[in-house]
Amino acid sequence: MPSLSLQVTRLFMRGLERVAPTLSGRVAFALFCRTPSRKPKGVKAVRAFAAGRRALASARRVQLPIASGTVGLHVLEANPEGAAPPRVLIVHGWGSRAEYLAELALNLNAAGAEVVILDLPGHGASSGRRLDLHVATEAIVAADRHFGGFDGVVGHSFGGASVMMALGGVFNGVARLRTRRVVVIGSPSNLNDVIVGFAKVVGVGERSLASMGERVFKLVGKRLEDLDAVTVAQQEQTPLLVVHAEDDKEVSPQHAHRYAGASPHVRHLWANGHGHRRIVSAAEVIEAVKTFLLTPEWSSNSAAGGRL
């Protein structure tokens, strides 16, 4: 059963749509971009956050300015012997933060990489309470410019979609992300589907959806259908590993299936049984990500993918 607050929101939004669909679309989009509380919810989340905070206690902290405020980054330095170590960026998903990806970061760091974890705007150590794909790509590219590029980038959920938009240079005025390889984990591949799903949750229909699309176009100069990660994969030559679980109940596995045949540079990995959140700390997923990002001889010949 929906929570009382969601029931009230649906009642309000349906009433508003009947009398002012343009306004209801704008309100719905504002709700869509509003980030949740930074405080962990539930016993498991509290424990995971505490463990992640301990794990990242020695990380160097960096604050970078962007147009909407500042973004926080956690840097795990490498101990190079000889050649410069590979540098990897990790971007979390909606409602998450760096601490929840600490296990993945520590494993990549232990394998010799310098690891940078970005707190997206409205999350963790970053400022604000609002986030959209455009703002997220600004933050990712700001990190890219500050550190001089990344050898590999990992994005989970919304973070993966944001990484793909940055890779494709989708937004006017925002530079392209520079990287050699990309991993997206449990990530949506099409923003239009995400918006439609959100509209259903808050109880609005086609007229409000049209207004939401108009709002997106006004803000970033792009139609919802243009914000497609599969299109980026087709246009770019960057090796891409798409990791998803068929039991993911938050981001449909159809988002991963859409990459099929997009490019010889795309590889699929199905991590069934790990859902949407556990997948980022699953040992076999971490090992696959580490191998993909840090093995120099990877080529498109290995792009068939597989299952864990």
First-last CA distance in the chain: 34
**Tokens linked to 293:** 């990002």
C-alpha pair distances (Å), 286 with each of 106, 263, 294: 10, 24, 12
Question: What integer pLDDT is reported at residue 84 of this predicted model?
Answer: 83
Most confident of 79-93, 208-222, 237-251: 237-251
C-alpha pair distances (Å), 115 with each of 79, 157, 162: 12, 19, 18
Long-range contacts, stretch 74-80, CB < 8 angstroms, 24+ apart: 74/98, 74/105, 74/116, 74/117, 74/119, 74/125, 75/114, 75/115, 75/116, 75/117, 76/105, 76/106, 76/109, 76/114, 76/115, 76/116, 76/117, 77/114, 78/109, 78/112, 78/113, 78/114, 78/115, 80/112
Query: Can you tell me which residue has the tokens 């604000």?
Result: 128
100 has a pLDDT exceeding 60: yes
d(CA 213, CA 221) in angstroms, rounded, equals 11
pTM: 0.93
d(CA 101, CA 93) in angstroms, rounded, equals 10
pLDDT tens, residue by residue, 151-194: 999 999 999 999 999 999 999 999 999 999 999 999 999 999 99
pLDDT tens, residue by residue, 13-22: 899 999 999 9
pLDDT tens, residue by residue, 15-71: 999 999 999 999 999 999 999 999 998 899 999 999 999 999 999 999 999 998 999
Classify residue 17 by burial, with Cβ atoms within 10 Å: 0-12, 13-18, 19+.
Answer: buried
Are residues 25 and 209 in contact, defined by beta-carbon separation less than 8 angstroms? Answer: yes
Q: Cα-flanking dihedrals φ and ψ of residue 304, to 5°? A: -65, -30
What count of other Cβ atoms lies within 10 Å of the Cβ of residue 146? 12
Amino acid identity at 298: W
DSSP 293: H
d(CA 250, CA 200) in angstroms, rounded, equals 14
C-alpha pair distances (Å), 195 with each of 49, 93, 123, 210, 253: 29, 16, 20, 11, 17
- Domains of the chain, earliest start first: 1-33+191-225 (no CATH), 42-190+227-307 (3.40.50.1820)
Question: What integer pLDDT is reported at residue 1 of this predicted model?
Answer: 57
d(CA 185, CA 289) in angstroms, rounded, equals 10
Question: What integer pLDDT is reported at residue 304 of this predicted model?
Answer: 45
